[in-house]
Homo-oligomer: A and B are copies of this chain.
């Protein structure tokens, strides 16, 4: 048990945006919401998963819809209270703590705001250890846990609870209501017992985000190593490529941004070429025609100088980026995990090979 205040939020937002693997929205927007709540209501207690009783009700909180609309509409303080009341009433039992559903700039922050406003603790765990584009893509699905009852509320005060036969229907109906409510709403989904959370959640994700944020913030302070070496070592990243963005192809299809960023090597990668395919998040990295990393491992582009994460929304011609890989959470590497989020699900024609194996032989390194 420890406390999250203003300075922790700065680092968590930065690190969680890195773990967003290109998706998860703008950390600046999310950070403003969390900072506002903590300044107004005080810091938040962060619980280790082991500190949660097995029979406690713990509930992931997130936003659904477009983060850019969230920035315009804002989130009222009452939305989280309504979600709390709806879910507590549904189960006839008060929610013990919130947790994030995913890393990423926005959804890492909203649960902190919710906990601050309601005086609830936050669990140091989430359902992805990164960000993914679809609602069923959480470790809880591997545990057979349903997304519903899912609660949804908007900034005007409308509330909806869904109980659906599959998580695909949860997505379908909640998406329809989200659009009718103006394109961005607050939700809670995958309500869990403490025991379920301990069995399937990605542990220590808030703490890991914070450490990654600190690593990015302190790269200039290292001694005897280059900032890049410091960043890679501290973040346990695999260097995949370094280059200049020379083309970004985008196609928006429904709720998703599909696309490809093409890189031209710089520095020691001069004369070489790479590209990254994405669907909201980065899904596959190819260097000189060879796949060097795929989902569910994390493929992250960071600014080559500051090491700040660059989301797929923010990819721009001419920007110099370092392409870094991170090992995904172990459960994603099981057959059940790969069925949900492996390369095959996204139409990438390759078997999944763990990042660290693909990077053997000097192509990448920690």
Which residues in A have some Cβ–Cβ distance to B below 8 Å?
Answer: 86, 89-90, 92, 156-165, 169, 172-173, 176-177, 179-181
Contact = CB atoms under 8 A, between A and B. Distances in A.
Contacts of A177: 173, 176-177
When all copies of this chain in the complex are counted, the total is: 2
A321 to B, nearest CB: 39
Contact of A173 (B89, B163, B165, B180): B180
Given A158-B165, A159-B164, 15 more contacts: A86-B163, A89-B90, A156-B165, A156-B169, A157-B164, A158-B169, A159-B162, A159-B163, A160-B160, A160-B162, A160-B163, A160-B173, A172-B180, A176-B179, A177-B177
Contacts of A180: 172-173, 176
Contacts of A159: 162-164
Nearest to A156: B165
Contact of A162 (B158, B165, B179): B158
Q: Give 4 closest A-B pairs by Cβ, nearest first.
A: A157-B165, A176-B180, A159-B163, A176-B176
Contacts of A92: 92
A200 to B, nearest CB: 24
Contacts of A90: 89
Contacts of A157: 164-165
24 contacts: A86-B163, A89-B90, A156-B165, A157-B165, A158-B162, A158-B163, A158-B164, A158-B165, A158-B169, A158-B173, A159-B162, A160-B160, A160-B161, A160-B162, A160-B163, A160-B173, A172-B180, A173-B177, A173-B180, A176-B176, A176-B177, A176-B179, A176-B180, A177-B177
